[in-house]
Every structure is written in C-alpha cells, then in structure tokens.
C-alpha cells in the first residue's frame, strides 16, 4: 500500500450508469437478478428498485449481450404531443377515462419497434419472411392492412396524431361539435357518449388489429427461436409528460406489456423506481398484487456490495495505475471508525445501493489527496459531504410523494434523541410534531398535515393512526429502521418497502438511519 499516492482525480467510477461504461464493462457483477433477466423462460418484466440500485446498469449489460436490443424512451415518444391537443386536454380535464387509448399507444409503439428493428421492413421481403414461418393468412392480411393504412406514418409520431384525429372525428360526429371548442363542463351524458365512442373505436378496430399482430408474432417466433429480442423502457421517472398523465400512461403500459408475455423470444423490461410504481398505484387505484408475478425486485447483500467495491478498486489500481499487487476494499479501509470496521461503517451508510457506496468511497479518496493512505478522519470528513449529497438525492427521489425531506428530519431531531425511540416516545410528542407540520404546509405532504388538523386531540385512536402514517413515511424514505431483538436493524428494501400493522408495537424500537443519526 505504501506505493500508492491517492489523488483527488482518482475515482472508482461514476454514480451515473450512463457515464460509467469503463468501469461497468470490466467490473460488472452478474447478480441473480441479471441471470433472471437474461432467461427468456423467466417472465419477469418489471425491474423494480430505488434510485441507485443498478437498474440502468443491468439494462446496459443486457444491451451489450443481446442481438436485438430496442430501447423505447418515453421522452421522445409522442406523449408531449398528446397532452397539447385541445381534444385530449379537454378529455383529461373532464376526467374521461383514456386508459384504452393509452394502452393502444403502447401496443402500437412496441409492435412498430419490433417490425422496424427485427425485420427487413420492405414490403415484399418482409411479408415473404413472415409467410415462410406462419401459415395464418388471415392474420398476415390483418398485419398487411394495418401497415398499409398507416404506411406513411407507421414509424413516427404521426401515427399517434393520425389515430387521435380519427377518434376526435368519430366523437365529434356523435356530439355534433368539436370537443376542444366546447365551453364549460361536459354533461354526464356527453362524457358517457365520448367514453363509449372512444372505447368502441379503439377496441373494435385498433386493439383488435394489434392483438392479431401480436398473435402473428407469437406464431412466427415459435418457429424462429434463434431470434432473441429485448425491449427496454427506462427513464420513466423523468419529466416526459405532466405528472397525472404520466401515472395513467405508466398504468396503461403495465397492462400493455402483459399482452406480449406469450412470445417466448421476446422480453420487455421496464425499469422503475419503487416510489414511482407506488405513486402510480395510488393515483390510478391499481392493484399492485397483480404485478408481483412479473416483478423483479433489486436487492443487494453486504457481500455483493463488497464484491462491487473489490472489483472497482482492483481495476482502478491494477489496470489504470499499473499496480500489480491486487488491492481490495479492506486493504484500503483497514482500520476502525468509532470501534466499527471502516468497511462496515461505510456500507452501513450506503442504503445498500451501489451508487451511494461508489459516491462515498470516491469522496474518501478525495479527502486523502496527496497521501499514501486513507484515515478514519478522511472518512468522517467525507461523510459530511456524502450526507449532504444523499439528503439532496432523497429529496429528489421522494419530493412528489412526501415533500421536503428536511422537515421529516427536523421532526426526528426535535422529538427524539436523534438515534432511537419507541412508538410511545413519538406519540408523547404528538403536539410538537403537529406544530412542525403546520408551520411547513407548503413544503411537505399536505395530506399528512390535514390528517393532524382534522384529528380531535381527545381521540387517542386517531392520533395513533396519524403517528403510524408518519412513521411509515419515515421508514419508506429510509430515514428510520427497526431494531430487532438481536440488536440487528432492518430498513426499507424492495422486499419490505413499508411498515405493516405488526411493526407498531409500542415497545418496538425505531432507530435513525446511521447516516442521519446525531
């Protein structure tokens, strides 16, 4: 170790998978989740994990090892067009159910991407290739009819525009006037008429055609098994459309992908943050249980995270800096911090996510700039900067659901010792917590504040329910965990994203996440 001089421009990779190709290519860890995603007999399609858990890294590795890898980016899809059309805007404002329309858009986009990327789409060659493998001439004719009808716009946003205008014309004929120009609220009978006409048109014509094409693709790939296709849909948490429509569109996507589940050569993978799926279910009243069979939850163990660091540290010094003696995570952090091994201390503050861990270690290297070793003081100094980074990241991750995260930390610090507390301790500070929430209504989850404002202080059951709700928020965000009888702690994870009624025994000890403890 004496031959190493740490420099502040050294790092073990980027926290962004898009900017981490050098390290990912050499240091990728093939987790059980990766093996499941590569197995076409495994029908898991929803890749669920918190920010920084490695979703994009997994997709990138699959891309590098797949012949046909198709990426659908919602921000370049036609959704921005949709929400600016007066016809569609009016339907959204009037709360007309557009689920079937949104499902059609996803089905069309996925099918068009398969045809464009996996076949030589020049009509004679294309249909000849299909006919060689499939004997269902009726379905082939359906496909031909669909392609011919939208031939001029099939592979671009124009198809969505064309379908939208066709639906608008159908509804306009029924109502006798353009919807986008109707002043004031629509009547209940007008809404029902619009709903019926929209659903009839898409169901009878569009969805029926697309389902026939999906069956045709299933038949084709059942005898052409060497072709393997992965369609990846990522970046759903970006600002690609206004929030309410986003949740409705994601809900429609989750229904649409199941239409393709019988095509054994095809895997559609949706990478989603856990909070985004939770918010989608809340807004659309979606039953999350229906997705469990299709969901793969990313979970990292302590050993797996150590393996990630060992590979990256070894690559940094062995390949980039020509140090021939293998160097590991424990070699660099071979000391204690507050009577805890430094390696454990760092991992305990990583929220069990590779991105956080990489960020923390990079900051430790910066603190050791110009020296031959990293010290406990370097780690503690890096922790302060890392804490600020992680707090900002949590704010970004959870703001849409829970508002300003600092308010929740403020509640913890003002009502507990900043390290551990019981349910009863928290309940004893009910009025203090209520005052903090009332002072910060513009920056926090107002529905939570409403619960407190509407509660009679003499109603002990209602007060306990409010505290359970608040504690569940703190646990879900990752600010607190539960200490078990053996002294071990567990925190939010994809397998246990929130608390249950069994976690609210008045004697159970809650503990503040080590990174944020006083």
DSSP 224-263: -TT--EEEEE--TTSSSS-HHHHHHHHHHHHHHGGGGTT-
The pair of three-digit structure tokens given for residue 398, joined into one six-digit string: 């959870």
Q: What is the pLDDT along the chain (518 residues), one digit of tens a residue?
A: 557 889 999 899 887 766 677 787 888 888 899 999 999 989 899 999 888 888 988 999 999 888 899 999 887 666 666 767 777 777 787 788 888 888 888 998 898 888 888 876 555 566 777 777 777 777 777 777 777 776 666 666 667 777 777 777 777 776 666 666 666 677 778 778 777 877 777 776 778 888 888 888 888 888 887 888 999 998 888 877 877 888 999 999 999 999 998 898 899 999 998 878 888 888 898 887 778 889 999 989 999 999 999 999 988 888 766 766 788 999 999 999 999 999 999 999 999 999 999 999 999 999 999 999 999 999 999 999 999 999 999 988 888 788 888 899 999 999 999 999 999 888 999 999 999 888 875 555 667 888 888 889 899 999 999 999 999 999 999 999 999 877 788 999 888 888 888 888 767 899 999 999 98
Q: Are 74 and 235 in contact (CB under 8 A)?
A: yes
Q: Are 105 and 83 in contact (CB under 8 A)?
A: no
Query: What is the C-alpha separation between 101 and 285, in angstroms, rounded?
Result: 18
pTM for this prediction: 0.85
The pLDDT score that the predictor gives to residue 266 is: 93
Q: Are 244 and 37 in contact (CB under 8 A)?
A: no
Classified as helix, coil or strand, 448 is helix
Classified as helix, coil or strand, 320 is helix
Query: What is the C-alpha separation between 480 and 485, in angstroms, rounded?
Result: 16
- Which residue, 186, 198, 183, is CA-closest to 94? 186
Query: What is the C-alpha separation between 357 and 15, in angstroms, rounded?
Result: 9
Nearest 5 degrees, angle CA 283-CA 285-CA 288?
A: 110
Token match 């393997």: residue? 228
Token match 């994990």: residue? 49
Kindly report each contact of residues 85-92 with a partner whose C-beta sits within 8 Å and lies 24 or more positions away, as own/partner: 85/164, 85/180, 86/178, 86/179, 86/180, 86/181, 87/164, 87/167, 87/168, 87/171, 87/178, 87/179, 87/180, 88/164, 89/180, 90/179, 90/180, 90/182, 90/186, 91/179, 91/194, 91/198, 92/244, 92/245
Query: What is the C-alpha separation between 497 and 241, in angstroms, rounded?
Result: 26
Token match 């989740």: residue? 33
Query: What is the C-alpha separation between 387 and 401, in angstroms, rounded?
Result: 21
Token match 């464009």: residue? 116
CA distances to 215, 314, 319, 327, 372 from 324, rounded to whole Å, are 56, 9, 8, 9, 17
- Which residue, 64, 77, 62, 70, is CA-closest to 117? 70
DSSP-assigned states of every residue in 134-146:
---HHHHHHHHHH
- Which residue, 78, 65, 53, is CA-closest to 275? 53
Classified as helix, coil or strand, 403 is strand
User: How many other C-beta atoms are found inside a 10 Å radius of the C-beta of residue 313?
Assistant: 22
Q: Are 360 and 378 in contact (CB under 8 A)?
A: no
Query: What is the C-alpha separation between 193 and 391, in angstroms, rounded?
Result: 49
Query: What is the C-alpha separation between 156 and 202, in angstroms, rounded?
Result: 19
The pair of three-digit structure tokens given for residue 485, joined into one six-digit string: 């009888």
The pLDDT score that the predictor gives to residue 154 is: 64
Token match 């499902």: residue? 103
The pLDDT score that the predictor gives to residue 2 is: 53
Residue boundaries of the structural domains of the chain: 32-297, 303-399, 403-516
The pLDDT score that the predictor gives to residue 451 is: 85
Query: What is the C-alpha separation between 14 and 41, in angstroms, rounded?
Result: 33
Handedness of CA 69, 102, 78, 165 (dihedral sign): positive
Query: What is the C-alpha separation between 411 and 433, in angstroms, rounded?
Result: 6
- Which residue, 435, 444, 433, is CA-closest to 405? 444
Q: Are 81 and 160 in contact (CB under 8 A)?
A: yes
Residue 509, phi then psi, degrees to nearest 5: -95, 125
Query: What is the C-alpha separation between 209 and 203, in angstroms, rounded?
Result: 9
């Amino acid at each position: 170790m004496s031959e190493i001089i740490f420099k502040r421009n050294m790092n073990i990779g980027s926290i962004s998978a898009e900017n981490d190709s050098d390290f990912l290519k050499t240091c990728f860890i093939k987790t059980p989740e990766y093996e499941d995603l590569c197995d076409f007999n495994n029908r898991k399609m929803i890749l669920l994990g918190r920010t920084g858990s490695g979703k994009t890294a997994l997709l990138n590795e699959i891309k590098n090892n797949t012949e046909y890898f198709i990426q659908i980016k919602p921000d370049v899809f036609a959704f921005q067009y949709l929400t600016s059309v007066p016809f569609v805007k009016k339907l959204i404002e009037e709360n007309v159910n557009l689920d079937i329309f949104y499902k059609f858009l996803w089905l069309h986009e996925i099918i068009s991407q398969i045809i464009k990327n996996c076949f030589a789409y020049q009509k004679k060659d294309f249909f000849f290739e299909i006919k060689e493998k499939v004997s269902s001439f009726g379905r082939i004719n359906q496909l031909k009819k669909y392609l011919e009808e939208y031939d001029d716009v099939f592979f671009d946003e124009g198809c969505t525009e064309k379908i939208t205008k066709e639906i608008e014309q159908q509804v306009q004929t029924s109502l006798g006037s353009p919807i986008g120009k109707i002043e004031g609220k629509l009547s209940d009978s007008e809404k029902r008429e619009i709903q019926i006409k929209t659903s009839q048109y898409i169901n009878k014509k569009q969805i029926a055609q697309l389902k026939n094409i999906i069956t045709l693709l299933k038949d084709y790939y059942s005898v052409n098994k060497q072709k393997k296709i992965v369609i990846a849909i990522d970046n759903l948490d970006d600002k690609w459309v206004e929030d309410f429509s986003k949740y409705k569109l994601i809900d429609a996507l989750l229904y649409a992908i199941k239409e393709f589940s019988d095509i054994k050569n095809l895997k559609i993978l949706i990478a989603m943050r856990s909070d985004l799926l939770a918010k989608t279910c809340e807004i659309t009243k979606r039953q999350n249980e229906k997705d469990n069979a299709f969901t793969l939850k990313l979970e990292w163990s302590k050993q797996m995270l150590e393996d990630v660091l060992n590979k990256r540290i070894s690559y940094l010094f062995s390949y980039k800096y020509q140090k021939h003696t293998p160097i590991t995570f424990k070699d660099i952090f071979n000391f204690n911090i507050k009577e805890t091994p430094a390696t454990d201390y760092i991992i305990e503050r990583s929220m069990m996510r590779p991105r956080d861990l990489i960020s923390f270690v990079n900051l430790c290297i910066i603190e050791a700039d110009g020296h031959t070793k990293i010290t406990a003081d370097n780690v503690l100094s890096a922790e302060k900067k890392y804490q600020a980074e992680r707090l900002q990241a949590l704010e970004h991750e959870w703001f849409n659901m829970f508002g300003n995260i600092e308010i929740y930390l403020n509640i913890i610090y003002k009502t507990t010792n900043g390290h551990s507390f019981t349910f009863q301790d928290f309940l004893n500070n009910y009025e203090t917590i209520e005052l903090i929430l009332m002072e910060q209504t513009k920056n926090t989850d107002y529905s939570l504040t409403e619960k407190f404002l509407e509660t009679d202080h003499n109603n002990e059951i209602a007060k306990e329910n409010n505290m359970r709700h608040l504690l569940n928020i703190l646990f879900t965000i990752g600010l607190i965990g539960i200490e078990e009888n053996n002294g071990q702690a567990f925190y939010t994870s994809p397998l246990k994203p929130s608390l249950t009624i069994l976690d609210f025994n008045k004697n159970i000890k809650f503990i503040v996440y080590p990174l944020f403890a006083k």
